[in-house]
Amino acid sequence: MSDRSSGNAESDKRYQLIDRSMKRFDYQKDALLEVLNTTQEAFGYLSEELLGYVSDQLNVPLSQVYGVATFYHMFTFDPLGDHNCIICTGTACHVKGSNLIVNALSEAFNIDEGQTTPDGVFSLKTARCLGSCGLAPVVVIDGDVTGKQTPETTLQRVREIIALSAETTQAEHTRSEVEA
């Protein structure tokens, strides 16, 4: 954490986004939540280094930054997998069987809700309510929201997306080998 304001931070464009957000709020301490939101948007998660950076810049004790960050559900402290599936577990989705979808994916990938596969390919997450209750149960796969899902349809789409990107990577790999 000692290098948090070093060249590493200056060269990374994403730090500029955080700086801009802090500037917008005049480096006021009450901007903490907004700044953490921007930070997570830029980096995808809040690492210890990032929390330290925010703490330094806003002059808020790291303990307080950590306390605020861990209080709210939307902040995550580990990077997400290459692909992710968020399953809505709101009341409407619950009564329409969203827990069956969670179980199916959890079993298929051998991870719990909130975890990422060891190879970093897939993360399984749940959400409180996505507000599409009329189309329950709702899942979000790589940012695409779809309603009226079943364990089968969700699992199939997740597998397709993972297989597709594996193919692309494989193809790129082969191409670069041929070129070499």
Partner 1 sequence: MDFSKLQELAQKERERQEQYKHRIFCCTSTACLSAGAGATHSMLEQSVAACECHEHEVEVVATGCMGLCSRGPLVRVETKDEPDVVYQRVSPEVALKIVAEHLPIPPDDKDDTADEEGDILPHDFPHFRASLRKAQEQKGLEQYVLSLDHPFFTKQVKVVLSEIGHVDPQSLEDYLAHGGYQALAHVLANMTPEDVCQTILKSGLRGRGGAGFPTGMKWNFGRLAVGDTKYMIVNGDEGDPGAYMDRTVMEDDPHRVLEGMIIAAYAIGASYGYLYVRGEYPIAIQRLQRAIRLARRRGILGSSVLGTNFSFDADVRIGAGAFVCGEETALINSVEGKRGMPRMRPPYPTTSGLWNAPTVINNVETVASVPPIINHGPEWYAAIGTEKSKGTKVFALAGQLRNTGLIEVPMGITLREIVYDIGEGVSEGHTFKAAQTGGPSGGCISADYLDTPVDYENLKKLGSIMGSGGLVIIDDTTSMPEFARFFMDFCVDESCGKCVPCRVGTVQIRALLDKLIAGQGELDDLDKLEKLCKFVSAASLCGLGQSAPNPVLSTLTYFRHEYEALIQNKTNQEAAAD
CB 99 to partner 1: min, Å: 9
The CA-atom distances, in angstroms, between 127 and each of 48, 73, 140, 149, 174 are: 24, 9, 10, 15, 38
Contact between 164 and partner 1 by CB under 8 A: the answer reads no
CB under 8 A: which stretch of 9-17, 117-125, 134-142, 169-177 binds partner 1? 134-142
- Are the C-beta atoms of residues 68 and 33 closer than 8 Å to each other? yes
Length of the chain: 180
Tokens 């670069």 correspond to what residue? 176
CB 14 to partner 1: min, Å: 18
Contact between 50 and partner 1 by CB under 8 A: the answer reads no
Contact between 4 and partner 1 by CB under 8 A: the answer reads no
Q: Which tokens go with 15? A: 């730090």
**Of 22 and 155, which CB lies nearer to partner 1 in the complex structure?**
22
Contacting partner 1 (CB under 8 A), which of 18, 54, 87, 130? Answer: 130
Rg, the chain, Cα only: 19
Which H/E stretch holds residue 71?
A: helix 62-71
Residues near partner 1 (CB under 8 A) are: 29-34, 36-37, 67-68, 71-75, 89-92, 94-96, 127-136, 138, 145-148
